[in-house]
Structure 1
Amino acid sequence: MHTFQQQRRQAFLQKYQHRARLLISCPDQPGIVAAVTSFLYEQGANIVESSQYTTDPKGGTFFLRIEFDCPEFAAKKERVETLFRGIAETFQMNWRFHVHTDIKRVAIFVSKEEHCLLELLSEWQAGELLADIPLIISNHEHMKSIVEPLGIPYYHIPVTKEKKEEAEQQQISLLKQYNIDTVVLARYMQILSSKFVAEFPAQIINIHHSFLPAFVGARPYERAYERGVKLIGATSHYVTDDLDEGPIIEQDVARVDHRHHPEDLKRIGRIIEKTVLVRALKWHLEDRVIIHQNKTIVFS
């Protein structure tokens, strides 16, 4: 890690050493916010940010994200969680606490396209992407010269139809060895098996080079050109067994016209892809995303 990164990281850890987050989803009913905020007050916490949303005021699902400062919270997190279970059971909550300074560990998967990887590494080097990147995995060797000077281990694991299962098992073993929290598919042009996805539920983030649900699957820019679209886009989503149909985190578009050929669409699209992926990953790292059915609530 470079000196600048170390300084930014140290400053972050110092500034937010007592900060934590609480994410909740549960059936909506009166008293949830009062119960939660009273509980946090009793633990000596000071709320610094709070966002909430209800799908339907009459019997919908309630979502809440709270950031708070609480002296020495990391040391007493387990005790606080034990005490909170009573409230959680009363309101039938899905919930989790997260200590702000517990930096998530991210593995990046990449193939031959470099733009998304370069954007992620640039943000990471600048201290704007607060994550540890212990390794990068690729089915090609193309990115090795980019990655290795940064001191990040680069694992080249070829994937063929005949040895796909073996390759995925190698990948899974590496991810567990490095205690990975999040997998980012930065234009990794392979379809993951159900077994792989099941190992990391709601932990795999993909960037798809179209404005989903349009042009699912391969060659979306060519198909967009053939259809004569006037907008192209990119979508970052969590990976599920259904190809390109997982919960969407972020999307963006750009206007195009009849003068743009497939290569033009790809060039414009690369800019959208990398910015959408970075935004989605940042929100995930900051615990701003709650998955509900096949959608997301994003407290951005």
Structure 2
Amino acid sequence: MSNTRQSATLLISAPDKKGLVAALANFLMTYNANIMHADQHQDTSENLFLMRIQWELDGFTLPMDAFAAAFQPIAAEHNMTWKVSLSSRKPRMAIFVSKYEHCLVDLLHRWRIGELNCDIPLVISNHEDCRRLVEFNGIPFHVVPVTRENKAEAEAEQFRLLEEAGADFIVLARYMQVLSGEFVKRYPDRVINIHHSFLPAFDGAKPYHRAFARGVKLIGATSHYVTEDLDEGPIIEQEVTRISHRDDVEDLIQKGRDLEKVVLSRAVRWHVDDRILSYSNKTVVFD
């Protein structure tokens, strides 16, 4: 948010039918809501209605701790899936990183200047390389080594740290380990990854090397929610840049780093601001 007004944001998805917007607006107006933003989308192929509504809490007569009970009858009537959040509560973002620090540096900078309205209770890594950077920013840094043999034990320790820190979601800032299916199931639509390719092209390992070998003229970066299928989760944001025959692999990697930072930060900001709804392995990102 660009202002200091306290607000609530409601995200809903429901089978599409007439009267949904009216039902939502009438409910909020019953309690004197001043709607600040409203955006909606109909997916005709899925017969699905999706909406984001943000309203000012000043003058709103329904206490937010009573919101769920008051709204549930309307949600049940229209078979809605919904989530409400408050601007006064900053989500808690855990960051996972390995050795590449460019995405981590960018996230920490945007967080420090207030561009990302969240708290960062911890950073977890499988290497020591980023410790000084993280601790310089006053954030606890935990090293949890991961090998093929100790993966289950390592993830158990990560779970413990995340729970102890009260983490709401996780950002993989070039974390070079594949998460287990059990890990992903614990955090559905709450693990954001950056992949250094314009998915679905060049998924998996060393995409820049494969892009160079293929002689492509565009390279990209993709931020997506993590699912059990590697690099197949719902895409949140993508960006591309043009390259030429004069660029070698190192040039592709250098140009790609700039894309990765921007794409990941956008995805994180939209998640923090409750602008994303995920369904059918794709997303709607509301304005």
Name the TM tier (shorter chain): over 0.9
Deviation for aligned residue 1:74: 11
Q: Which residue of 2 aligns with 1:51?
A: 39
1:176 pairs with 2:163 = yes
Percent of aligned pairs with the same residue?
51
Q: CA deviation at 1:80?
A: 2.0
The equivalent residue for 1:16 is 5
Matched-pair contact (CA < 8 Å) for 1:73–1:99: no
**Aligned Cα root-mean-square deviation (Å):** 1.7
* CA contact 2:34–2:60 (8 Å) conserved in 1: no
Paired AA for residue 164 in structure 2: Q
CA gap of 1:197–1:74, structure 2 versus 1, over 3 A, is farther
Residue of structure 2 in register with 1:280 after alignment: 267
Question: Structure 2 vs 1, CA of residues 81 and 227 (structure 1 numbering), >3 Å: closer, same or farther?
Answer: same
Residues in 1 aligned to 2:244 and 2:61: alpha-carbon distance in whole angstroms: 53
Q: Tell me how far apart the structure 2 counterparts of residues 63 and 207 of structure 1 sit (CA, whole Å).
A: 25
- Tell me how far apart the structure 1 counterparts of residues 112 and 61 of structure 2 sit (CA, whole Å): 27
TM-score (normalizing by structure 2): 0.97
Residue 70 of structure 1: how far off its partner (Å): 2.4
Question: Are the aligned partners of 1:43 and 1:70 in contact in 2 as well (CA < 8 Å)?
Answer: no
Deviations 1:197-239 (A, max 9, x none): 1111110000000000001100000000000000000000000
Deviations 1:40-74 (A, max 9, x none): 01112110100000011x87100110000123769
Q: Supply the distance in 2 between the matched residues of 1:72 and 1:179 (Cα, whole angstroms).
A: 31
SS of the residue aligned with 1:174? helix
Q: Which residue does the alignment assign to 1:271?
A: 258
Following the alignment from structure 2 to structure 1, what is the Cα–Cα distance between the partners of residues 233 and 59? 37
In the alignment, the residues of structure 1 paired with residue 104 and residue 255 of structure 2 have an alpha-carbon distance, to the nearest angstrom, of 17
2:69 to 74, 82, 95: 82
- Consecutive unaligned residues in structure 2, runs of 5 or more: none
Amino acid corresponding to residue 127 of structure 2 in structure 1: H
In 2, distance between residues paired with 1:181 and 1:95? Answer: 17
Asked if the contact 1:44–1:70 (Cα under 8 Å) also holds between the matched residues in 2, the reply is no
Counterpart of 2:18 (choices 20, 27, 30) is 30
Identify which range, 31-40 or 80-89, moves more after superposition: 80-89
Higher alpha-carbon deviation: 179-188 or 96-105: 96-105
Match of 1:243 in 2: 230
Which residue of the partner structure matches residue 204 of structure 1?
A: 191
Residue 67 of structure 1: which of 54, 58, 63 is its match? 54
Q: Does the Cα contact within 8 Å between 2:40 and 2:49 map onto a contact in 1?
A: yes
Distance 1:52 1:170 in 2: 41
For residue 148 of structure 1, the aligned residue among 111, 132, 135 is 135
Residues 99-156 of structure 1, C-alpha deviations (whole Å, 9 max, x = no match): 1111000000000101000000010111111110010000000000111111100001
Contact 1:289 1:298 in 2 (8 A): yes
1:173-214 deviation line (CA, Å, top 9, x unaligned): 100111100100000000000111111111000000000000
Distance 1:249 1:196 in 2: 20
Mapped contact 1:29–1:59 kept (Cα < 8 A): no
Higher helix residue share: 1
The residue identity in structure 2 corresponding to 1:40 is L
| Alignment counterpart, residue 117 of structure 1, candidates 79, 101, 104 | 104
Partner Cα distance (2:62, 2:15) in 1: 31
Within 5 Å, give how 1:160-171 maps onto structure 2. 160-171=147-158
Distance 1:185 1:35 in 2: 39
Q: Distance in 1 between matches of 2:62 and 2:226?
A: 34
Q: Which residue of 1 aligns with 2:279?
A: 292
Contact 2:32 2:60 (C-alpha < 8 Å) held by counterparts = no
Q: CA contact under 8 A between 2:13 and 2:48: conserved in structure 1? A: yes
